[in-house]
Structure 1
Amino acid sequence: MAILECNELVKRYGSAPALDHLNLTVEPGHIVGLLGPNGSGKTTLIKLANGLLTPTAGQILVDGKAPGAQTHAEVSYLPERTCIPLWMSTRRLLDFYQDFYADFRRERAEEMLAHLNIRMDQTIKQMSKGTREKVQLIMVMSRAAKLYLLDEPIGGVDPATRDYILNTIISNYDPDAAVIISTHLIADVEQVLDEVIFVNQGRAVLQSSVDAIREEKGMSVDALFREVFKC
């Protein structure tokens, strides 16, 4: 069964369509790049899959179910902006996730935090922007979810932090789960992707495996993206 399925999905803000009869399917066991220019509908799709928005028309299913209370237990969501409370200490944050999510793997989170030399009594406010983003990603990837929705996980961080974040994603998702990474930094994430979905003006204009793009088009995903979306 597909972990995410969209059938003629429409989302409008007023009269403007953010998603325009979008159709796509994401199978378990894949890391998928959701790629498109700014304003193409990527964040809207991720928010719909996470149940933060409701469709105007059409259908979106997570593990065969409409997004809601049941799917919240199966989806782990990383928003574009850091949203963990600044006053919390690392320990309080771990306690919070453990109380809130039955699938939270605390030992795995503690191991990754120790690798970054983050103290348990350190507050989020005391951390640098890059460290906060790493901590939030560690929390998200330490859940045993079926679907990980990562909205711009490497935006605005230095190359070394990007490498750490991508390695964390690869190392911590279950093979029976799927990871969707929304980003415009394609060259940086291409190495970890199994599949890509190009979205433009609210529609899926291409869905393909990365290997097929390289074999059939004779180019990288980044090069194909530049060709498809050139001004």
Structure 2
Amino acid sequence: MSEIVKVDVFKKFKNFELKVNFSVNEGEKVLIQGPNGSGKTTLLYLIYGVLNPDSGYVRVFNKNPTVELRKSEMYMLEEYLIFLENISLQENLDFITSLRYFNINKTHELINKFDLPLYKKPYQLSSGQRRLFKLALAFSSEAKLLLLDEPTSNLDIENSKVVKDMIREYSGTIIFASHDILLKESCNKTIYLRTGKIERIEIK
């Protein structure tokens, strides 16, 4: 298998330092686990290129993570995605899918699977429904690399199981951070972080 992600970074914050070195191969499903504040989300943002390391490097498909890669080869479950609250979910969908490629048939398949009411406005949705909408976008992006931060947060057990299966069956590579024990069944590598350092790596 070819190596598609290589991380060797140091990032210092006021009360926290992240220093990690690892690689991810094509097709792998890699789970990042660790206590709150261990650096899981920071690591995903570094891989996505939202944050820059103080030293070291991140390579995705042998390139720096750039806007161009984010438009085509990689996609992050955008918890920071801002909904336009006073228009319908369908109108939000039309706008978002105009910004980059999505397999819109797959998007609607997942929206139907999750029973999401496209006629409602975002403020009328539960936190779980908002998360499911973002998951529908992520899994229909057809990105070669998906980054998911707590994908099953605010979801019930039934939908969490659906997401577990979607991760396992996805054709591309996924790096995901989660406290959800159920999702460990979907990965073939687990990276354990503690206070910004890799404590250990387990490979199935």
Q: Output the TM-score relative to the length of structure 1.
A: 0.80
2:129 alignment partner AA: T
Q: Give 1:204's aligned residue.
A: 198
The code of the aligned residue for 2:83 comes to I
The answer to whether structure 1 residue 11 and structure 2 residue 11 are counterparts is yes
Distance 2:128 2:63 in 1: 35
5 Å-filtered alignment, 1:87-106, equals 87-102=86-101, 104-106=102-104
Matched, 1:181 2:176: yes
Question: 2: distance between equivalents of 1:79 and 1:107?
Answer: 20
For residues 155 and 163 of structure 2, what CA distance do their matches in structure 1 show? 10
Contact 1:78 1:149 in 2 (8 A): yes
Q: Which has the larger radius of gyration?
A: 1
Q: How many residues align?
A: 202
Once the two structures are overlaid, the 10-residue window that deviates more, 41-50 or 71-80, is 71-80
Structure 1 residue 140, shift from structure 2 partner: 1.1
Report how far residue 80 of structure 1 moved.
4.7
**What is the identity, as a one-letter code, of the residue corresponding to 1:111?**
E
Q: Which amino acid aligns with 1:127?
A: L
What fraction of aligned residue pairs are identical, expressed as a percent? 27
Q: Report the Cα distance in structure 2 between the residues aligned to 1:33 and 1:87, rounded to whole angstroms.
A: 36
Determine helix, strand or coil for the equivalent of 1:99.
coil
Partners of 2:85 and 2:182 lie apart in 1 by: 28
Task: Give the superposition deviation at 1:99.
Answer: 1.0
Task: Give deviations 1:103-161, integer Å, cap 9, x for gaps.
Answer: x1000011111223333322222222111111111111110111111011112332223
DSSP-derived class of the 1:52 partner: coil
1:89, CA displacement in angstroms? 2.0
Q: Which moved more, 1:149-158 or 1:75-84?
A: 75-84
- Tell me which residue corresponds to 1:160: 158
Counting only pairs closer than 5 Å after superposition, residues 13-52 of structure 1 correspond to structure 2 as: 13-14=13-14, 16-20=15-19, 22-52=20-50
Counterpart CA distance in 2 for 1:120 and 1:79 is 19
| Structure 2 CA distance for aligned equivalents of residues 203 and 2 of structure 1 | 21
One-letter amino acid matched to 2:10? V
Q: CA deviation at 1:3?
A: 2.0
User: Which stretches in structure 2 are left out of the alignment for 5+ residues?
Assistant: none
Q: Residues 54, 208 of structure 1: CA spacing in aligned structure 2 closer, same or farther, 3 A cutoff?
A: same
Q: State how far apart, in whole Å, the 2-side matches of 1:50 and 1:67 are.
A: 6
Q: After the TM superposition, which residues 67-146 of structure 1 pair with which residues of structure 2 at under 5 Å, given as runs?
A: 67-73=65-71, 74-80=73-79, 83-102=82-101, 104-146=102-144
Let me know the Cα RMSD of the aligned residues: 1.9
- How far does the alpha carbon of each residue in 1:44-80 deviate from its partner, in whole angstroms, 9 at most, with x for none? 1111111111110011111111112222122211145
1:151, 1:181 within 8 Å by CA — same for their partners in 2? yes
1:132 is paired with a residue whose SS is: helix
Partner of 2:57: 59
Deviation readout 1:160-209 (Å, 9 max, x if unpaired): 231232233334x32xx210110122x22111111111112222222232
For structure 1, list consecutive stretches of 5 or more residues without a partner in the other structure.
212-231
Cα 1:159–1:83 shift into 2, 3 Å: farther
Q: Secondary structure at the match of 2:109?
A: helix
CA distance in 2 between counterparts of 1:11 and 1:85 reads: 33
